[in-house]
Chain A
Amino acid sequence: MNIYLNGQLTKLAEPPMTLEHALALYLTENDQQQSFAVAVNSDFVAKAQYAHTQLQEGDSVDVLFPIQGG
């Protein structure tokens, strides 16, 4: 099963997979400790829902970090 992770076509190792599982696999440890937001198909998913969100073939998962500068 393939998804788009920040625009990059990514083959999921062990589908089916929850969003929580995918983030644990594909985000670096450093990234996971930071403040970030995740959108699936352009809609943000609340942190509490990561474990309950099942990824589907072709989903676009965007992981966003706060930009600091101004």
Chain B
Amino acid sequence: MLTSNEQLRYSRQIMLDKIGEEGQVKLRNASVLIVGMGGLGNPVSMYLAAAGVGKLIIADGDQIDVTNLQRQVLFTEQDIQQNKAECAAEKLQQNNSDVEIEVIDEMMDEELCQYYIAQVDVVIDCSDNIATRYLVNRVCVEQQKPFVMGAATGFDGQQLVVDPRKPDSACYHCLFPASEKAPAQNCQTVGILGPVLAMIAGLQALQTIKLLTDIDVKYNQLNLYDGFNNQWQQFSLNKQSQCRVCGK
């Protein structure tokens, strides 16, 4: 049951048929891991904390730099040189003191992934590099945890839900089989506009809320955002039986 304070605070989302008090209780009982507290992790964590997700585990080993402020909207000039996850936790706690926040102030490696992914209901990939994305994807497949991938550079973004609980769900590795020669393009090398991150992060937060409240979420669908031409495109994919990560 919700308290009367919770009923008031979350009234505008409880009002939705598909959420209701039952959905709000599910959000309160949920735990989510957010890998990366940069341009995607900032808005994702803000929306999930505001929505009343019970526990957020947020991971980032980086310090806030002046070049982050153009897009990482939780951080201010006073926060430069602080650890991103620690600083974000403080701001998120100011927004919602009911949310439990655990900080991982280092980059995710195999051991941290294994340990933390086991504790959560949904994993959100907001990392800025493909090695971490492959790692998180693989551990989510092993542990059968839904994985909400997002990435953006320039004017473009990609978003995919992997749900290893479904036998026919493709994984990130089905889509992009790992290659030794991955393109070396990230925000440092090709640039990024803040609102492009907000588009992808908004979709990641929405998909996560739906997963947590048992609303059907489309997996096997890559959402592609082109912010230059203002277009969304959807591509359908299939689980690859020869996939090194999720195939038999």
With the chains together, A66 CA to B181 CA distance in Å? 12
Contact A64 to B224, CB < 8 A, known contacts A33-B181, A70-B150: yes
Interface size class of A (residues with CB under 8 A): 20 to 34
With the chains together, A43 CA to B182 CA distance in Å? 23
| Residue numbers in B under 8 Å from A39 (CB-CB) | 235-236
Interface hit among A8-16, A18-26, A44-52 = A44-52
Contact A69 to B185, CB < 8 A, known contacts A34-B179, A35-B178: yes
Contact A70 to B177, CB < 8 A, known contacts A42-B235, A64-B224, A65-B183: no
- A contact residues vs B (CB 8 Å cutoff): 33-37, 39, 42-44, 46-48, 62, 64-70
Residue of A nearest to B240 (CB): A46
Do the beta carbons of A35 and B179 come within 8 Å of each other? yes
Min Cβ gap B66→A in Å is 18
Contacting A at CB under 8 A, from B171-226, are: 175-179, 181-187, 190, 192, 197, 222, 224
Contact A33 to B235, CB < 8 A, known contacts A68-B129, A70-B151: no
Do the beta carbons of B128 and A70 come within 8 Å of each other? yes
Do the beta carbons of A67 and B153 come within 8 Å of each other? yes
Min Cβ gap A67→B in Å is 4
> How many A-B Cβ pairs are below 8 Å?
95
Do the beta carbons of A66 and B183 come within 8 Å of each other? yes
Min Cβ gap A36→B in Å is 7
Contacting A at CB under 8 A, from B66-80, are: none
Best-buried of A33, A43, A67, A69 by chain B (most CB within 10 Å)? A69
Min Cβ gap A29→B in Å is 11
Residue of A nearest to B157 (CB): A67
| Residue numbers in B under 8 Å from A34 (CB-CB) | 179, 181-183
Do the beta carbons of B158 and A66 come within 8 Å of each other? yes
Do the beta carbons of A33 and B127 come within 8 Å of each other? no
With the chains together, A39 CA to B153 CA distance in Å? 21
Residue of B nearest to A43 (CB): B236
Do the beta carbons of B128 and A69 come within 8 Å of each other? yes
Contact A46 to B238, CB < 8 A, known contacts A37-B176, A68-B129, A70-B128: yes
| Residue numbers in A under 8 Å from B182 (CB-CB) | 34-35, 66, 68
| Residue numbers in B under 8 Å from A69 (CB-CB) | 39, 128, 151-153, 185-187, 190, 192
With the chains together, A33 CA to B177 CA distance in Å? 12
Residue of A nearest to B196 (CB): A69
With the chains together, A65 CA to B236 CA distance in Å? 15
